[in-house]
Amino acid sequence: MFRKNEQNINDACTLRSQRLNGLREKKRDEMLKKKRILDDNNSLLQVIGLNDNDIDVAMTLLQQNNQSSTISTLHMLHKICNALGKRSEAAESHYYDLLINNGVMRKMIELLKTNIPINSKKDILFVVINCSSCERHHVNALLFNGIIEATLPLLNQPELQLDIIWTYCNISSETVDTRNIIFENSGKLILSMVPTVSDPEILSKIAWLFSNFCRFKPSIPEQQLEPFINYLFNISNQDNPDLVLQAMTGFVSLCENNDNCYRYATNLIPVVIRYSRSINDNICLAAISCIGSIASISDVLIQSLIENDVLSIIANVLDQRDNEIIRSALWALSNLVFCATINVANMVCSNGLLRSVIFEGATTVSTPLKIECGWVLINALEKVDSMGLTYISQTEGIYNFISQLLVIELTNREQFVENLLIGIRRLLVLGEEMINDEGQNEIAVSFEEVDAVNLINNLSFDEFSLSQSIQKIASDIIHQFYDGYFDEEDF
């Protein structure tokens, strides 16, 4: 059964939860003490600690229209945000709620439009970046309070570009609506800035932003999106892992969410083949995920993947990489087997790759890995012809692995079990032509030796977790065993 990937790149797009990862790497000051003293030039002393009521104090100070007081207060709000980020996400989230509900966030955004010093604007943007990476209602509040209108005019100031674009990255990561807001308001402007930017960190954030434009369905209209995709192609050839990763993340999203991905796939195949060999795990994972999506588009593209040695790449991944990348490679292989021609599916079963999958599935202690290996086998059982079935039936460990799959626990068990049983039935029909000296179906004997027959029989009575139609398939298979393969009293 072919499955669009809804898990690996939750996967493409959240690739390692970029909203928070980069933020936590930003330089942090010392932990804030319980209380701090604000002192402006007019000897105004106020204590701001970490209590809810202290936000009211901050609001009072910001309304003084005293620049010294404003500068000190903004820096203090930055410090509190910094300290809370080191304590807990829950405390941080509560802090943003207070800033929003007490009007402080709106006041801070308004101050971005004034002539306060650059460092004070950076204090504000530090809080905004953190806020925009927290929860959806915080993002909505920032938009409602005019963060886009306040920051767009500041993009011509190099010192603020990184923080502003970072904020846009976080906002556009949230939903299709927030993505559209950022795209419509800032997309063309930031694209026009690219030739003038040399800071690699800013370029990385721009790439992240453009990769976000490929996220979510419905997708941005192709004609509008094309310049940003072209930029991702351009940076994918650069010798900068951060830029390459952002480009690959965008390609994952493009493959997942854009119905017109076919037109880009031909140019994308050499890129993903190249980076599927990367020693950088995140880049390799993104490339393998793209391969899985491309394999689901057409058998013509699958043929191109095979000509580019994709089967050897997947085989190497199964031998050498960590579980997350192996899962993605198995998903890609599952799509490839199901969507390819029968000849290609047969080749996967005959060239040793399926044997590696079965060995991995039978020996791994990871249930998700075992399930992905199971899907490769299920799709192969459904796709191949009698020659391919013969290869499968003779693959070492196949019957033991199937017996493990019959009892595996997974969320969508019905679909998995139904397709597995249909595959077993195909094997048994093949076995009618493979009769041993005792006149028995050799494949049926092999199933009996690993206790699969009893496991299938149990499924025929599993009315709690399986539908009647699936129970009937299991019952029909048992009757296949009855029909001359074994004596009925064996059950």
Per residue in 346-375, pLDDT (tens digit) is 999 999 999 999 999 999 999 999 999 999
In the three-class reduction of DSSP (H, G, I as helix; E, B as strand; rest coil), residue 45 is classed as strand
Q: What is the pLDDT of residue 259?
A: 79
pTM (two decimals):
0.82
Q: What is the pLDDT of residue 40?
A: 31
Residue 38: which pLDDT band, with cuts at 50, 70 and 90?
Answer: very low
- Report CA-CA distances (Å) from 481 to 363, 440, 463: 28, 10, 22
Residue among 31, 19, 277, 11 at smallest CA distance from 134: 19
Q: Tell me: pLDDT of 416 over 90.
A: yes
Q: Is 246 exposed, middle or buried (0-12, 13-18, 19+ CB in 10 A)?
A: buried
For 292-314, what is the mean pLDDT? 94
Residue 30: which pLDDT band, with cuts at 50, 70 and 90?
Answer: very low
pLDDT tens across 120-142, in order?
Answer: 999 999 999 999 999 999 999 99
Residue 49: which pLDDT band, with cuts at 50, 70 and 90?
Answer: very low
- The listed range with the strongest mean pLDDT (63-67, 154-158, 432-436) is 154-158
Region of poorest pLDDT, from 9-13, 85-89, 209-213? 9-13
Q: Round the average pLDDT of the chain to a whole number and report it.
A: 86
The token duo for 192 is 């026009």
169 phi, psi to nearest 5 deg: -60, -50
As beta bridge partners, residue 435 has: 441
For 35-41, what is the mean pLDDT? 30
Q: How far is residue 456's CA from residue 458's CA, in Å, rounded to a whole number?
A: 5
Q: Tell me: pLDDT of 402 over 50.
A: yes
Residue that the structure tokens 């909505």 belong to: 140
